[in-house]
């Protein structure tokens, strides 16, 4: 079976109720591209309303706590996200690793909490610019994979080189292809795990990135805030048929 592509939008700290009309248009597109998974991760304040409007679009959160409940002011548990009707949760985004000092061990615990709640974790990894310049991109990402991913169960990896996020810079196709192949080879059930690329994916580069063998979709920030751009990226995704899992 082919790995289903996942085109995932991450709204980060953007979006008010008035912006949810976006989902009507994307939901129409989602029905016509039933070969793909399409998701939007709005801010937590919009999860409940987004789920009601999503149709075939999957709704995700942007983070979850490692515990199911308790005295953790301001945090949201995976059970709460599931209860809101969402399907997935992004964990370990570089902005959370950076802003909140999240460690790989915490990211793994979050991914396991998500799985236990019945959510699909989308686990983010990626090297800093200096790591790539100094030739240790693979060792950094390999270490992140080894320590951030659960031992079993389904999850998605999003490879997001930190220097490519929100900068308009993307990794070269060779670098993306090479890193995705490296990640797949380092996973125990690599053939079944979807690996997304993220970092300045736009309508003008989506087609060539999504055509790469080991790229199973994209995690999209800025371009997921504009319906025309996000729709163009969905349209650029190839239809996958006879790939072995
Ligand atoms: P941009 O697409 O804005 O570079 O953001 C990527 C990202 O961080 C998605 O999680």
Domain with residue 179: its CATH number is: 3.20.20.70
Mutate to test the pocket of ligand 1, among 201, 203, 230 (most ligand atoms within 8 A of CB): 201
Range of the domain at 113: 6-236
| 92 is a domain residue | yes
Query: pTM of whole model > 0.75?
Result: yes
For the chain (245 residues), the mean pLDDT of every run of 10, in chain order, is 92 98 94 95 98 96 98 98 98 97 98 98 98 97 98 97 94 96 93 96 98 97 98 96 50
| 167 is a domain residue | yes
| 123 is a domain residue | yes
The question of whether 208 is a catalytic residue gets the answer no
The question of whether 180 is a catalytic residue gets the answer no
Q: How many domains does the chain have?
A: 1
Residues 6 or more apart whose CB falls under 8 angstroms from that of 11 comprise 40, 41, 42, 43, 62, 224, 225
| 242 is a domain residue | no
Name residues contacting ligand 1 (CB within 6 A): 10, 93, 160, 165-166, 198-201, 219-223
d(CA 113, CA 151): 13
| CA 71 to centroid of ligand 1, rounded, Å | 31
| 243 is a domain residue | no
Q: How many CB atoms lie within 10 A of CB 212?
A: 17
| 244 is a domain residue | no
């Amino acid at each position: 079976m082919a790995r289903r592509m996942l085109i995932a939008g991450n709204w980060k700290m953007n979006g008010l109720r008035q912006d949810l009309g976006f989902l009507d248009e994307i939901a129409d597109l989602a029905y016509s591209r039933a070969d793909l998974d399409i998701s939007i991760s709005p801010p937590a304040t919009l999860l409940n309303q987004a789920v009601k409007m999503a149709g075939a679009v999957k709704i995700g959160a942007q983070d979850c706590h490692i515990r199911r409940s308790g005295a953790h002011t301001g945090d949201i548990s995976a059970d709460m996200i599931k209860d809101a009707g969402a399907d997935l949760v992004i964990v370990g985004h570089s902005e959370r690793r950076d802003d909140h000092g999240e460690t790989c061990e915490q990211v793994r615990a979050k991914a396991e909490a998500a799985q236990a709640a019945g959510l699909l974790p989308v686990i983010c990894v990626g090297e800093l610019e200096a790591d790539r310049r100094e030739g240790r991109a693979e060792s950094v990402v390999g270490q992140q994979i080894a320590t951030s991913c659960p031992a079993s169960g389904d999850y998605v990896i999003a490879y997001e080189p930190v220097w490519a996020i929100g900068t308009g810079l993307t990794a070269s196709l060779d670098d993306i292809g090479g890193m995705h192949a490296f990640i797949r080879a380092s996973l125990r059930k690599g053939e079944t795990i979807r690996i997304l690329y993220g970092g300045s994916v736009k309508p003008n580069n989506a087609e060539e990135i999504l055509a790469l063998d080991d790229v199973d979709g994209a995690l999209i920030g800025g371009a997921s805030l504009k319906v025309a751009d996000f729709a163009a990226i969905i349209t650029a995704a190839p239809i996958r048929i006879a790939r072995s899992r």
